[in-house]
Structure 1
Amino acid sequence: MMEAQLILATIAQRYHLRLAPGTAVELEPQITLSPRGGLPMVLAERQMVERVGEWMERPYSKWRLFKFFTTEHTEITEKG
């Protein structure tokens, strides 16, 4: 079950999932409800956008916190 979740998460990151055109979803009652005959899907690849420098401009980003604790914070402790 864990492998299926990881596979689905990986697919969802890389692709948009849409129900195939003209597909009607019919439910099949079992212990849980499931789609009768499966769900035919269409995959469309997501466009990956590179956002390397974006997080550095946020006021409390990891980069600014890193700079604080490696420079200013050590100077404060050395003086005090």
Structure 2
Amino acid sequence: MSEGGVIVDYHGCDFFPERWGYNAKKLQDNIQCEIFQVLYEEARASYREEIVHQLPSNEPEQLEDNINQISKWIEQWVKDHNS
């Protein structure tokens, strides 16, 4: 990951080291936000509907599909903004 150029879709708490100082309350709040889709709803309320996407990642195949979709969006964005 330190080389960059990767997309990370990960939700495990072991990804965030204890040295970051997240207390139990902070972790619980983050878990509740994930469960209740708080951030997704905030994004939908804050941005145009056509630019907010929720990608399922429950199965390995979905992860591959998500990577392909994100790559397409990036390629299109580059085309649209290279004029």
Q: For this structure pair, what is the TM-score category when the shorter chain's length is used for normalisation?
A: under 0.3
Higher relative contact order (CA 8 A, sep 6+): 1
| TM-score relative to the length of structure 1 | 0.25
| TM-score relative to the length of structure 2 | 0.24
Higher helix share: 2
Higher strand share: 1
Question: Considering only CA atoms, is the larger Rg found in Structure 1 or Structure 2?
Answer: 1
